[in-house]
Amino acid sequence: MAEFFDEGARVAVLTTQPLDRLLTYRAPEGGCWEGAFVEAPLGPRRVMGVVWGPGEQGFDASKLRALVRVLDVPPMRAEMAEFLTRVGDYTLTPMSFMLRLATRAPGLTNPPSMRKIYRLGHREPDRMTEARERVLEVLESQAQSAFTLKELAEEAGVTSSVVKGLVKQGAVEEEESPRDLPFAHLDYTAKGKDLTGDQATASEALRAGVRSGDFGATLLRGVTGSGKTEVYLEAVAECLSQGRQALVLLPEIALTSEFLKRVEERFGAKPAEWHSGVTMTERRRVWRMVAEGGAQMVIGARSALYLPFRDIGLIVVDEEHDSSYKQEDGVLYSARDMAVLRGSINGAQVVLASATPSLETWANAEAGKYKRLDLTSRFGEAVLPEMRAIDMRNESLPGNRWISPTLATAVRGRIEEGEQALIFLNRRGYAPVTVCRACGHQIGCDHCDARMVEHRFLKRLVCHQCGESKPMPEACPTCEAVDKLAPVGPGVERMAEEVAEVFPDARVAVLSSDLFASARALKAQIELIAAGGADIIIGTQIVAKGHNFPKLTLVGVIDADLGLQGSDLRAAERTFQLIRQVAGRAGRGDVAGLALLQTFQPEHPVIRAILSGDEESFWRSEASERQAAGVPPYGRLAGVVISSPEIDPAMSLGTALARADAPIRKIGGQVFGPAPAPIARIRGRHRVRLLVKAPKSAPLQSALRAWLAPFDLKGDIRLSVDIDPQSFY
């Protein structure tokens, strides 16, 4: 039970300020509960904080300041405080950062009030302009969302006078609305689709888990199109019928609109949404409604895990293998793993859904820690695509051409039948490298140890590390030769050029995340493709993520070997997942699909595993290799990156750390490095890496703390620790 503190009592307060400790205050007028969100005076400022518990008694009472007031938001629940503490402990993140993650909604300190919001009106404007059209489009496409004037103008990319003009004409309506209205009720009694035998068994198992009211984690494995979504929506229905809340995490914002539609079909209304594309006004509403119980279900990105659910009963992590669940800057956490932690604290069921689970999850299921449910066939007529390799050693291709004659013939056959073909290449831009044919210089980023990627569409060179871009130079920056710069290797934009030459009459659509100015534009392209508005789709990995293109029957993978290079511990697993996922896009309708993999090494074990489709044996062999090497999921890793504007201080700190490795050795662990990181410079900072390896059951975090504690970071040196690192850049 939360404790109540009378006015004047000492309380410890956690604030979002980067301090390493709790601050002691006196409870404000009227007293406060443990967990209350409060405004606290700090120097000349007022900051937000949470009452964390009783304050220290040591201080001189006369020097203690009183909290200003208790904010009008529901107090933080004990489970949430525990969750934040445990994520902070696990990831070695200071609590002030954790609190920031949990309060990423603006205006929490403002009292509830009326404000003007803007909705679609009933009249047509007298005259349509491009700007007006954009405003109406935004309102149409996000009808459930509340917009303030500023947000609407920003989202549509117009000035606020355009919106006001539309209000005058009655095409947009302005209304006074209380902030933070509850979400429409989701009718969980509505009947879902009739499930097949497999689906019904899986759904019943998940429902039973939810009914138990206890924690449990389940791997829901099924090929794309097998009905995983239908099955876990049944678990959502059960959860809502218990009066508890459900959270569904998706790896990609572009997937939300399709998903919202399905929820609406199933439950008669849309759930709350939480991701970077949601307006600030809406975020505040979601945060509050989740806390008050005015939102039954949330669809979100990984940060939705930190929403203040009143009573969460189910967390679904869809496409659980997706690497975007790992947050790679700020607080480094895996949303998949933290979802399981949150479920265990809240007595919630956690469902990890995937066609190609991560080895971690597969191993947890093998070990009996997670239940496992399998959907073995596709729903309805659809069958899994056939997979074949194209041995590139036997294909004759001129230079700067990547579509083999065999693939070209197959594509032609499909589009002549009115079907769609996908050309897959996981590389954005036009060409990964630009080289000077006179002196051999390769154009690199000024701030990073990376080559710049030509983006012909933008007419610029872009650094994929730091985002820096510059115009394509006319002359070589080194030897100044003119007209000698040449692209090397393909990106999707270059594939589009080749496709236009090989198939001059085909309608081509390119799907690459950087080609779209907004999530809306990307969504429009996806809808166009789904409706059959393109014959050939050229795509990067965003096409691998769950979109449903019924006319797509052929997938051609331009470079199946791409992910196999490099020393990354997960190279094989990632390649396997990505290619199986992409291939799974083919043949979801009633025509059987075919996937063709262009490869120079068709006998490579990973390529063979992909082709054979024998996933269990792939995982088993991958698992035994990792077990032998003592790496995750059978051992533990932590990455340490030290960065600084000069290389020397970073390297000397690294060397000193490596020498002081006693606390790590004590738990049976080892420190490797220091070594320059694979990308040795990013944004002008030199980077040095160390890697810590420890046995699975070792107390890694406390050893890391003991190891790092004696070292002060001097000057402009930064150090970050990545527990369970996913990428090693």
Binding site for Zn ion (CB under 5 A): 445, 447-448, 463, 465-466, 468
- Residue 230 interacts, among Zn ion, ligand ADP, none and using kind-specific CB cut-offs from 5 to 8 Å, with ligand ADP
Closer to ligand ADP by Cβ: residue 226 or 245: 226
- Residue 448 interacts, among Zn ion, ligand ADP, none and using kind-specific CB cut-offs from 5 to 8 Å, with Zn ion
Closer to ligand ADP by Cβ: residue 226 or 426: 226
With a CB cutoff of 8 Å and minimum separation 6, the contacts of 437 are 481, 484, 485, 486
Smallest gap from residue 222 Cβ to ligand ADP (A): 5
Closer to Zn ion by Cβ: residue 412 or 447: 447
- Residue 222 interacts, among Zn ion, ligand ADP, none and using kind-specific CB cut-offs from 5 to 8 Å, with ligand ADP
Helix (H, G, I), strand (E, B) or coil at 218: strand
Interatomic CA distance for residues 679 and 686, integer angstroms: 9
DSSP assigned state of 4: E
- Residue 445 interacts, among ligand ADP, Zn ion, none and using kind-specific CB cut-offs from 5 to 8 Å, with Zn ion
90 CB neighbour count, 10 Å cutoff: 17
- Residue 466 interacts, among Zn ion, ligand ADP, none and using kind-specific CB cut-offs from 5 to 8 Å, with Zn ion
Closer to Zn ion by Cβ: residue 447 or 705: 447
Smallest gap from residue 525 Cβ to ligand ADP (A): 20
Smallest gap from residue 453 Cβ to Zn ion (A): 10
Smallest gap from residue 677 Cβ to ligand ADP (A): 37
Rg (CA), the chain: 27
Spatial contact of 163 and 135, defined as CB atoms under 8 Å apart:
yes
Which pair of structure tokens corresponds to residue 243? 């009066």
Q: Which of 284, 363, 349, 361 is CA-nearest to residue 325?
A: 361
Smallest gap from residue 238 Cβ to ligand ADP (A): 17
Spatial contact of 587 and 382, defined as CB atoms under 8 Å apart:
yes
Closer to ligand ADP by Cβ: residue 410 or 530: 530
With a CB cutoff of 8 Å and minimum separation 6, the contacts of 614 are none
- Residue 142 interacts, among ligand ADP, Zn ion, none and using kind-specific CB cut-offs from 5 to 8 Å, with none
Smallest gap from residue 380 Cβ to ligand ADP (A): 6
- Residue 484 interacts, among Zn ion, ligand ADP, none and using kind-specific CB cut-offs from 5 to 8 Å, with none
Strands 312-318 and 245-249 turn out to be: parallel
Closer to ligand ADP by Cβ: residue 236 or 682: 236
With a CB cutoff of 8 Å and minimum separation 6, the contacts of 553 are 414, 419, 420, 421, 586, 587, 589, 591, 592, 593, 594
Closer to Zn ion by Cβ: residue 447 or 484: 447
- Residue 454 interacts, among ligand ADP, Zn ion, none and using kind-specific CB cut-offs from 5 to 8 Å, with none
Closer to ligand ADP by Cβ: residue 226 or 577: 226
Closer to Zn ion by Cβ: residue 211 or 447: 447
- Residue 193 interacts, among ligand ADP, Zn ion, none and using kind-specific CB cut-offs from 5 to 8 Å, with ligand ADP
Spatial contact of 223 and 584, defined as CB atoms under 8 Å apart:
yes
Residue matched to tokens 């074949």: 388
Smallest gap from residue 322 Cβ to ligand ADP (A): 14
Smallest gap from residue 563 Cβ to ligand ADP (A): 23
Smallest gap from residue 191 Cβ to ligand ADP (A): 12
Interatomic CA distance for residues 298 and 302, integer angstroms: 11
- Residue 225 interacts, among ligand ADP, Zn ion, none and using kind-specific CB cut-offs from 5 to 8 Å, with ligand ADP
- Residue 315 interacts, among ligand ADP, Zn ion, none and using kind-specific CB cut-offs from 5 to 8 Å, with none
Smallest gap from residue 684 Cβ to Zn ion (A): 9
Interatomic CA distance for residues 231 and 25, integer angstroms: 50
Residues making contact with ligand ADP (CB under 6 A):
193-196, 199, 222, 224-230, 379
42 CB neighbour count, 10 Å cutoff: 16
Spatial contact of 644 and 695, defined as CB atoms under 8 Å apart:
no
Closer to ligand ADP by Cβ: residue 261 or 620: 261
Spatial contact of 313 and 242, defined as CB atoms under 8 Å apart:
yes
DSSP structure string for 519-544: HHHHHHHHHHHHTT--SEEEE-GGGG
Helical (H) or strand (E) element with 82: helix 78-91
Spatial contact of 717 and 706, defined as CB atoms under 8 Å apart:
no
Smallest gap from residue 228 Cβ to ligand ADP (A): 3
105 CB neighbour count, 10 Å cutoff: 22
191 CB neighbour count, 10 Å cutoff: 7
Closer to Zn ion by Cβ: residue 684 or 695: 684
